[in-house]
Amino acid sequence: MKVYQTNEIKNIALLGSSGSGKTTLTEAMLYESGFIKRRGTIEQKNTVSDYFPVEQEYGYSVFSSVFNVEWNGKKLNIIDCPGSDDFVGATVTALNVTDTALLLINGQYGPEVGTQNHFRYTEKLGKPVIFLLNQLDSEKCDYDDILHQMKEIYGNKVVPIQYPINCGPGFNALIDVLLMKKYSWKPEGGAPIIEDIPAEEMDKALELHKALVEAAAENDESLMEKFFESDSLTEDEMREGIRKGLVQRSIFPLFCVCAGKDMGVRRLMEFLGNVVPFVSEMPVVQDTDGNDVPHDDNGPESIYFFKTSVEPHIGEVSYFKVMSGILHEGDDLQNADRNSKERIAQLFVVAGANRVKVTELHAGDIGATVKLKDVRTGNTLNGKDCNHRFDFIKFPDPKYTRAIKAVNEAETEKMMAALNRMKEEDPTWVIEQSKELRQTLVHGQGEFHLRTLKWRLENNEKIMIRYDEPRIPYRETITKAARADYRHKKQSGGAGQFGEVHLIVEPYKEGMPLPDTYKFNGQEFKVTVKGQEEINLEWGGKLIFVNSVVGGAIDARFMPAILKGIMSRMEQGPLTGSYARDVRVIVYDGKMHPVDSNEVSFMLAGRNAFSEAFKNAGPKLLEPIYNVEVFVPSDKMGDVMGDLQGRRALIMGMSSEKGYEKIQARVPLKEMSSYSTALSSLTGGRASFIMKFADYELVPSDVQDRLVKEFEATQKDE
């Protein structure tokens, strides 16, 4: 295969909502480029993308699929991304290693919430966007209405390059206002019939052509001057203006295709080959030290691994982008993240499961290799005297959690090894061994995301697993001051155990002063601070430990043991066994025995005194509250609002944002357990949400009573 220079390479991410037709478009592009001789279909399970068994089982893309096509001497590296929001990790990864986004719109529905989500990521990363209206042969397709919606959402930056003469099942022709030609197809699609624009379409075509010329001219001063002088631009000048506008995100060209019938795909490929920016024309990436790393063949050798997949009969296939320099087969490189050496024994360019061997890849190119010994997704490999490290991919927070368990406990270790391997393929799966909840948790982007994980464990790894509701990480605290004392005394032959601790507990807030005296049942207790310790608890909040013992009632050497006893009780709160937080403890008195007192005695006395005082101090449960943003089509707003209110949500605000409604709310984590499934069901999969931990708030008293009773029942059982 030909070796491509940096200035001949273009990297493109193929995005779009589920059902917009990305996999079908991929087949048509590969067919048009001559890479495949026959187009596959999702129904027949023979497409180049979606080649994993789990994808064929569900009929959905689960992983991104890397492929390349050669067109007019240019190399187009294209990453076909899953449409479902549950697999957003693949989209985020692809956008970070490509330079242009091709965003498909389903002709039946127009811009969907998934379209908006993908567009938001392109906005965040400053990537050029080309919109592509697909499925023009659908009965529901209304081009004018979709264009109107898009202008409302994205403004006048959306500029049609083409428009269909007729939509619906009879679609077979469109007008190209860049080339000012009519394109039509026979029923089998493929090569178009190119003709002059018919008279009845000329006025509309000229109007759109003029708008395109103006949009192209706006991106370059010399083009703008030429436009003012002659009121037109040549085809090459328009292409140059559009390319500059793409890089600046001041123009979003709109193309039309019917991928299923291979109509318009060849013209799209021409545009991608002629107009889309080359790798060398895009802004420079920075390494973790903030150094610019241009895609330069003469720069030091550096490659970044953005994707790993485990494939039958091969094992791990590692996908990378050449960030700088020229990578050769057989090169020895240093792993900047793991400080180990790697040899790149084989180099491939790929199209789905098809791999073609190459001898070298230049800066900006995308390739794959196999059988690396110590490389993980996100690692950087460098040549001699190069210290680059890249960490530019930031994944969204998880929003769906389940406790995971092997049905056969003997397979737990095998399950954990498989989970850690699979996390390499999809970093948005987060595996957590929760000491607090005593569960293994798997966090993901949605119910379908975790269902896919289960399918793969059970079908590929032959490990049967069970999902359970995750326990909620409640916190315990107190609402008023209380005191207690406890004597630990034990005598059994020889030396005994003796320790007595008197203490006061009270709720603590940041900066709260310490009173001189406390009053309980008419009796005053003076505080004389001998020492104070502020402990930032691992699980949030604080413990303030005050030594106020006078007259040597408790020797100072026993204070750490008392603190240890208190901490052990805070790790397993008296109400429900949850972590306790935000408490001030004042140890003000106690008793020792000259022979029998020891650290264990005072640890137990401190623990029990604290437990008793805590129960008398108006103990309360706190629950985790999350800030939730829901993006929903306006026609589903009422249903979603009603559902949120049924989840004890506090609605904080509502706004319209680029074609959809945004609801902001504070919702208890307990109520978010199956929210992704419920939201998908309510809106037919057209809504999405993000959630982020906010803080802890008091649990309603009826919920607290129920939780305390449940905990007491389990304690009795044990």
Among 254, 123, 267, 117, which Cα is nearest to 191's?
267
Per-residue confidence at 54, pLDDT binned at 50, 70, 90?
Answer: low
CA distances to 178, 184, 257 from 195, rounded to whole Å, are 14, 8, 18
Per-residue confidence at 174, pLDDT binned at 50, 70, 90?
Answer: very high
User: Residue 298: exposed, middle, or buried by beta-carbon count in 10 A (0-12, 13-18, 19+)?
Assistant: exposed
Q: What is the pLDDT of residue 10?
A: 95
Q: What is the pLDDT of residue 608?
A: 95
Give the span between the Cα atoms of 84 and 94, in whole angstroms: 15
Q: How high is the mean pLDDT of the chain? A: 90
pLDDT per residue over 518-572, tens digit each?
999 999 999 999 999 999 999 989 999 999 999 889 999 999 999 999 999 999 8
Secondary structure, 3-state, 593-618: CCCCCCHHHHHHHHHHHHHHHHHCCC
Range with lowest mean pLDDT among 250-259, 441-450, 582-591: 441-450
What pTM was estimated for this model as a whole?
Answer: 0.82
Report which residue type is found at 322: V
**Which SS3 state, helix, strand or coil, does residue 136 take?**
coil
* Residue 150 reports pLDDT greater than 80: yes
Q: What is the pLDDT of residue 509?
A: 93
Q: Are 90 and 98 in contact (CB under 8 A)?
A: no
* Residue 717 reports pLDDT greater than 70: no
Q: What is the pLDDT of residue 233?
A: 81
Order across the sheet with 531-536: list the strands: 482-490, 497-507, 583-591, 542-547, 531-536
* Residue 659 reports pLDDT greater than 80: no
The predicted model gives 191-205 an average pLDDT of 95
Q: State both tokens at 64.
A: 């991104």
**What sign does the dihedral 629-634-638-639 (CA atoms) show?**
negative
Q: What is the pLDDT of residue 42?
A: 65
Q: Express the helix, strand and coil content of the chain in percent, nearest 5 each.
A: 30, 30, 35
The predicted model gives 114-129 an average pLDDT of 91
Among 251, 104, 270, which Cα is nearest to 179's?
270
Q: How many CB atoms lie within 10 A of CB 155?
A: 10
Percentage of the chain surpassing pLDDT 70? 96
Q: What is the pLDDT of residue 616?
A: 94
- Length of the chain in terms of residues written: 718
Among 73, 66, 83, 81, which Cα is nearest to 30's?
66
pLDDT per residue over 608-655, tens digit each?
999 999 999 999 999 999 999 999 888 889 999 999 999 999 999 999
Report which residue type is found at 515: P
Q: Residues 6 or more apart from 455 whose CB is under 8 A from it?
A: 54, 57, 58
Q: Are 351 and 68 in contact (CB under 8 A)?
A: yes
Per-residue confidence at 227, pLDDT binned at 50, 70, 90?
Answer: confident
Helix (H), strand (E) at residue 466: strand 465-468
Phi, psi of 604 (to 5 degrees): -70, -40
CA distances to 145, 446, 634, 674 from 166, rounded to whole Å, are 13, 39, 29, 43
Q: What is the pLDDT of residue 31?
A: 86
Secondary structure, 3-state, 269-291: HHHHHHCCCCHHHCCCEECCCCC
Give the span between the Cα atoms of 473 and 539, in whole angstroms: 9
Q: Residues 6 or more apart from 447 whose CB is under 8 A from it?
A: 86, 400, 674, 676, 677, 680
Half-sphere exposure of 146 (CA within 13 A, CB side): 28
Q: What is the pLDDT of residue 203?
A: 95
* 524-525-531 Cα angle (round to 5): 160
Q: State both tokens at 350.
A: 């790929």
Which value, to the nearest 10 degrees, does the dihedral of the CA atoms of residues 346, 351, 352, 353 take? -50
* Residue 120 reports pLDDT greater than 70: yes
Q: State both tokens at 715.
A: 């304690």
The predicted model gives 23-40 an average pLDDT of 84
Q: Residues 6 or more apart from 391 whose CB is under 8 A from it?
A: 288, 378
Give per-residue burial for 26-46: e unless 16+ CB within 10 Å, then b.
bbbbbbbbebbeebbebeeee
Q: Which domains does the chain have, with CATH numbers?
A: 6-281 (3.40.50.300), 286-382 (2.40.30.10), 400-471 (3.30.70.870), 479-614 (3.30.230.10), 621-703 (3.30.70.240)
pLDDT per residue over 508-526, tens digit each?
999 899 999 999 999 999 9
Measured in whole angstroms, how far is the alpha carbon of residue 607 from the centre of its chain? 42
* Residue 657 reports pLDDT greater than 80: no
Q: State both tokens at 417.
A: 């090894």
Q: State both tokens at 506.
A: 């009270």
Q: What is the pLDDT of residue 50?
A: 57
